Amino acid sequence: MQDTQLYQQILGLEHPWRVTGVVMKRESRTIEVAVECAGQVWACPECRQRAHLHDYETRRWRHLDSCQFKTILVAEVPRVKCEEHGTVTVKVPWAEKHSRFTAYFERLAIDVMLECSISAACELLGISWAEADGIKQRAVRRGQARKQATAMPRLCVDEKSFGRGHDYMTIVTRATD
Ligand SMILES: [Zn+2]
């Protein structure tokens, strides 16, 4: 099996995305996986209307390591021109919009952060505090997006005064049975 086919399968990439090259950089202990998108009919990622290809933007994402080698995905991501939304970068299947990490890497990072301190997680994963924070924020947003509104069987409403004078705070809590 060729290395491009191996990474194509490891990454689970499907048409129109395909791995076109794998380069090992010994000095930096890095493997770079080049990914391309074969031509197809484009749609604006915002409104799903058909759009024309404008150009390509080179983007990089950190993926799960390959053994002791840091693994980076490098892709020429198409940008399309939508009449309503202007020039927009198409969505890639392996990462969220503004993330510089693949979804697999973010999943691992969250698991590590749940088990140890943030500084220890940064050390283990080789990421900065700001990058760890970005990964956490995106995980929180995903969790909130999955939440569904449910009717609460009972609510407690109370009013408490605080400080001096007539300052009151209304406290709404969910009552448990
Ligand atoms: Zn649009």
Give dist(CA 41, CA 58) in Å, integer. Answer: 20
Tell me how far the alpha carbon of residue 89 lies from the centroid of ligand 1, in angstroms: 11
Quick one: pLDDT at residue 112? 97
* Stated length of the chain: 177
Tell me what the mean pLDDT of segment 59-65 comes to.
96
Residue ranges with CB less than 5 Å from ion ligand 1: 44, 46-47, 82, 84-85
H/E run at residue 9: helix 3-11
Tell me how far the alpha carbon of residue 43 lies from the centroid of ligand 1, in angstroms: 8
pTM over 0.85: no
pLDDT digits (tens, 9 = 90+) for 8-43: 998 999 888 999 999 999 999 999 999 998 877 788
Q: Centre a 10 Å sphere on the Cβ of residue 12 and count the other Cβ atoms it contains.
A: 10
Tell me how far the alpha carbon of residue 49 lies from the centroid of ligand 1, in angstroms: 6
pLDDT digits (tens, 9 = 90+) for 75-88: 999 999 999 999 99
Q: How confident is the model at residue 63 (pLDDT cuts 50, 70, 90)?
A: very high
Tell me how far the alpha carbon of residue 94 lies from the centroid of ligand 1, in angstroms: 21
Q: Is 67 left (phi over 0), alpha (psi -120 to 50) or beta?
A: left
Give dist(CA 65, CA 93) in Å, integer. Answer: 19
- Cβ 9 vs Cβ 17: under 8 Å: no
Give dist(CA 19, CA 7) in Å, integer. Answer: 7
Tell me how far the alpha carbon of residue 136 lies from the centroid of ligand 1, in angstroms: 29
Quick one: pLDDT at residue 6? 93
Tell me how far the alpha carbon of residue 75 lies from the centroid of ligand 1, in angstroms: 22
Tell me how far the alpha carbon of residue 57 lies from the centroid of ligand 1, in angstroms: 18
Nearest to 111 by CA among 166, 64, 67, 51: 64
Beta bridge partners of 43: 50
- Cβ 25 vs Cβ 32: under 8 Å: yes
